[in-house]
């Protein structure tokens, strides 16, 4: 149905990319973000409304005041004719050439076919479309598709999302989009282009800890309609792996998911870092003042000679084993000091004893400061999503829970994982065709104008080259203006939820008209403005509540268990893997009951692949000594013919 007509005056003419049209005041379906179609004899133009004006023939407010004798409640027998005038930006035109001024024509609301044509999704929705939400009224939502190769690569890639925290904007939308990707992604033709996975960091509360659980709340009618229109099943993620560091006791996991029911269905895996990570990310672990050039030089010497080298050089003529954990490294540093002391020299191999003593102090403290996160013990291997032997798996969500860690610890986790991902990306060893890394609080990890840390460098690398190599960054932040421009600028798709007015006043938002900014400042949960390479203009779309359990619901339903002793934890894990109580008791009884032994067995149990019987891990523990007495000897003295 026709809703208006294009107008162009001498003072305010239409251009090739903007036009103005009027509607009667009774037309209620047009507003900021509405898609419209202009039909003239020569062409069809699709546009999006970016500004709205309403006026009548009143020349001055004083005339109105005079007409009613200053009485605002007075009525007149005739109301002034009113009209609405809208400005719209052109999305697409047919035919595409010549690009001329928008003609005077009739204006219609865009229907489903028009929306697809306007957004150019008609060309790719079938083959490469990833539904990103729905456009249109709540009564008639129309699916909007992003192009897979422009969202995840290789044509272009990465998503950057801005939204005020706490308003169900960023995380909710990203989770919905990931659901859509998992259900609609189409593998490429090449051998390294099969499968898609995602890695997320849970940095606060339990928002991302129950992605494999069904939402407790029933979806609303609108949510159901959007899911249906987008061709999505309303269900949680099928495959989710959780990783969390250990607590300081080195036994219990430091996560809100510490719950027997959860451990029974989807056990949380251990996240630890080995010695190479510690040395490599010393800048994260130590203060800036600690790591001057001399200290850095000594640290590099330790790394090259005793961590990476399988045959380290001797110290004072005595052989040295390769350091496998932080304690071993500290011991080596002590030996350096002793050697220098013994020789009465102020240096050990050009490294001054003051420098060595300083590093001893800092390294010795690290094990304490990052207890639970840095692997200790004789088999101090790094564990985590990038260490799993099978690599990233198709349609699997990897969640790294760092919510219970302090800032420094979170920084280490983040720096190490992002660096490893970048390396895997360079070596093309991701294991899936596309890995989506979700990083929240980008203004913290890649601040604009900040120093070039490992993390910043890695994020920039990923942003610049990731799309060719299968790594896609979904970054989110509250303040886009405070994020490194390269990281933001390399994202091809941008999403904007509710944004505070102060942020909107930043120059980076000058691209948007005043009315669009106003709308962004008052956007409701469940709405985003999306900018994508195929859309000539950003458009407003709706998205539904994610189909996973909310963090608050999960924490209520699966209450965190208190820390337990290692043997109790072993019992829990064995029970979860199907062992009977009796067999568990027997197995435990056969083990040496030292806490260290139980911790080692626990570590082995946690590393056990799915489907493997726990006895394999239990067998690696130290056996309890068997007590020999006269009553239990196999051959008794009376029976021994030789005794």
Partner 1 sequence: MADMLTLRNALLQVPGVRFVRPSGAVEDEMAKLVKQPKLPENATLVEDSVFRAIDVTRRDETGFTHFLDGSQFVRRVGFHGLQPVLVAHVSAAIVERIDREIKAPRPENYRVSQKLYVPSSFPGDREDPHFVRVALDDCGAGSAATLKYKEAIEDERKSQEDELSKQFREGVLLIDGGIDEALRGAAGGKFIVGLVKSHETQYFATPDRVQTIIELKEGQRTTVFERPAMGKSQQEVFSFYLKLREDPYSSPMFGLARIEVAPSDEMLKQVDAISSWLMHERAPLSLPDPRYDRLLYPIRLVEQYLKAHQPSEVKISQITRL
Q: Least distance in Å: CB of 83 to partner 1?
A: 13
Give the binding range for partner 1 (CB under 8 A) out of 75-83, 250-258, 266-274, 377-385. 75-83
CB of 74 to partner 1, least distance (A): 7
Burial of 41 (0-12, 13-18, 19+ CB in 10 A): exposed
Which is closer to partner 1, CB of 68 or CB of 511?
68
Strands 527-531, 493-496: pairing is antiparallel
Rounded alpha-carbon distances, angstroms, from residue 320 to 299, 335, 570: 17, 10, 35
Query: Quick one: 76 or 265, whose CB is closer to partner 1?
Result: 76
Region near partner 1 per CB under 8 A, out of 76-84, 219-227, 311-319, 463-471: 76-84
**Is residue 138 near partner 1 by the rule CB under 8 A?**
no
Residues 6 or more apart whose CB falls under 8 angstroms from that of 621 comprise: 591, 592, 597, 598, 600, 601, 604
- The residue ranges of DSSP E strands in 215-366, in sequence order, are 239-244, 269-270, 347-348, 351-352
> In the complex with partner 1, which residue's Cβ is closer, 75 or 639?
75
| Total of chain residues touching partner 1, rule CB under 8 A | 17
Cβ proximity of 171 and 208 under 8 Å: yes
- Cα atoms in the Cβ-side hemisphere of radius 13 Å centred on 145: 25
Our CA angle for 219, 544, 163, nearest 5°, is: 135
Q: Is residue 79 close enough to count as binding partner 1 by CB under 8 A? A: yes
- When binding is defined by CB under 8 A, the residue of 9, 28, 57, 293 that contacts partner 1 is 57
Distance from C-alpha of 321 to C-alpha of 564, rounded to nearest angstrom:
35
63 lies in the binding site for partner 1 (CB under 8 A): yes
Binding test (CB under 8 A) with partner 1, winner from 13, 29, 42, 67: 67
User: What is the rounded (10 degree) CA torsion for 135, 138, 139, 144?
Assistant: 20
Among 61, 70, 72, 81, which residue sits at the site for partner 1 (rule: CB under 8 A)?
81
Residue 59 touches partner 1, criterion: CB under 8 A:
yes
Q: Which of 5, 53, 80, 613 binds partner 1 (CB under 8 A)?
A: 80
CB of 56 to partner 1, least distance (A): 9
Kindly tell me the number of DSSP H helices and DSSP E strands found in the chain.
23, 20
78 binds partner 1 (CB under 8 A): yes
- Residue 214: which residues within 8 A CB-CB, separation 6 or more? 235, 236, 547, 548, 549
What x-and-dash track marks residues 304-343 binding partner 1 by CB under 8 A?
Answer: ----------------------------------------
**CB 421 within 8 Å of CB 437:** yes
Using rule CB under 8 A, residue 75 touches partner 1:
yes
- 9 contacts partner 1 (rule: CB under 8 A): no
Report if residue 74 touches partner 1, rule: CB under 8 A. yes
For residue 89, give the nearest of 524, 543, 540 by alpha carbon: 540
From residue 398, alpha-carbon distances to 102, 188, 240, 530 in Å are: 49, 22, 6, 26
Pick between residue 5 and residue 556 the one whose CB is nearest to partner 1.
5
Taking contact as CB under 8 A, which single stretch among the options 53-61, 122-130, 277-285, 301-309 is the one that binds partner 1? Answer: 53-61
Binding residues for partner 1 (CB under 8 A): 57-60, 63-64, 66-68, 74-81
């Amino acid at each position: 149905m026709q809703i208006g007509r294009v107008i162009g005056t001498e003072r305010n003419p239409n251009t090739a990319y903007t036009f103005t049209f009027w509607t009667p005041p009774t037309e209620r379906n047009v507003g900021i973000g509405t898609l419209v179609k202009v039909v003239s004899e020569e062409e069809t133009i699709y546009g999006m409304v970016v500004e709205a004006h309403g006026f009548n023939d009143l020349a001055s407010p004083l005339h109105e005041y005079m007409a009613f004798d200053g009485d605002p409640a007075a009525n007149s027998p005739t109301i002034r004719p009113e009209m609405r005038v809208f400005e719209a930006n052109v999305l697409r035109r047919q035919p595409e050439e010549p690009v001329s001024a928008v003609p005077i024509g009739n204006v219609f609301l865009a229907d489903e076919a028009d929306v697809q044509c306007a957004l150019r999704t008609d060309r790719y929705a079938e083959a490469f479309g990833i539904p990103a939400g729905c456009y249109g009224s709540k009564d008639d939502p129309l699916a909007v598709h992003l192009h897979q190769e422009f969202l995840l690569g290789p044509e272009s890639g990465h998503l950057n999302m801005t939204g005020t925290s706490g308003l169900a904007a960023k995380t909710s939308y990203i989770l919905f989009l990931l659901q859509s990707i998992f259900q609609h992604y189409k593998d490429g033709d090449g051998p390294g282009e099969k499968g898609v996975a995602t890695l997320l960091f849970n940095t606060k509360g339990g928002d991302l800890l129950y992605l494999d659980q069904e939402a407790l709340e029933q979806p609303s009618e609108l949510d159901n309609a959007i899911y249906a229109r987008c061709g999505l099943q309303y269900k949680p993620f099928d495959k989710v792996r959780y990783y969390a560091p250990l607590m300081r006791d080195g036994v219990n996991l430091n996560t809100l998911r510490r719950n027997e029911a959860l451990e029974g269905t989807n056990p949380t895996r251990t996240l630890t870092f080995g010695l190479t990570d510690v040395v490599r990310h010393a800048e994260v672990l130590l203060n800036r003042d600690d790591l001057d050039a001399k200290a850095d030089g000594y640290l590099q010497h330790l790394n090259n000679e005793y961590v990476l080298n399988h045959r380290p050089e001797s110290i004072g003529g005595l052989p040295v084993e390769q350091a496998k954990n932080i304690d071993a490294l500290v011991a080596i540093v002590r030996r350096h000091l002793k050697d220098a002391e013994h020789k009465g020299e102020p240096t050990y191999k050009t490294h001054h004893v003051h420098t060595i003593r300083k590093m001893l102090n800092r390294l010795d403290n690290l094990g304490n400061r990052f207890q639970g996160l840095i692997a200790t013990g004789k088999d101090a291997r790094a564990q985590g999503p990038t260490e799993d032997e099978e690599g990233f798996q198709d349609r699997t969500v990897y969640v790294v829970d760092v919510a219970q860690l302090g800032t420094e610890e979170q920084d280490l986790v983040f720096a190490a994982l992002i660096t490893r991902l970048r390396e895997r990306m360079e070596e093309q060893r991701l294991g899936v065709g596309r890995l989506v890394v979700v990083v929240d609080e980008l203004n913290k990890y890649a601040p604009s104008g900040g120093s070039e840390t490992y993390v910043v460098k890695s994020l920039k690398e990923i942003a610049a080259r990731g799309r060719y190599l299968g790594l896609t960054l979904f970054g989110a932040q509250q303040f886009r203006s405070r994020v490194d421009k390269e990281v933001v600028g390399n994202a091809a798709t941008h999403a904007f939820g509710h944004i505070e007015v102060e942020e909107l006043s930043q120059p980076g938002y000058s691209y948007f008209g005043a009315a669009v900014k106003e709308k962004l400042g008052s956007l409701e949960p469940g709405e985003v403005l999306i900018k994508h390479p195929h859309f000539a203009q950003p458009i407003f779309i709706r998205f539904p509540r994610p189909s996973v359990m909310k963090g608050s619901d999960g924490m209520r339903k699966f209450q965190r268990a208190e820390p337990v002793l290692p043997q109790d934890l072993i019992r829990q894990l064995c029970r979860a893997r199907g062992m009977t109580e009796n067999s568990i008791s027997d197995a435990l009884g056969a083990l040496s009951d030292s806490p260290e032994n139980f911790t080692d067995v626990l570590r082995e149990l946690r590393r056990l692949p799915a489907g493997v019987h726990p006895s394999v891990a239990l067998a690696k523990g130290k056996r309890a000594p068997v007590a020999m007495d006269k009553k239990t000897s196999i051959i008794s003295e009376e029976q021994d013919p030789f005794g």
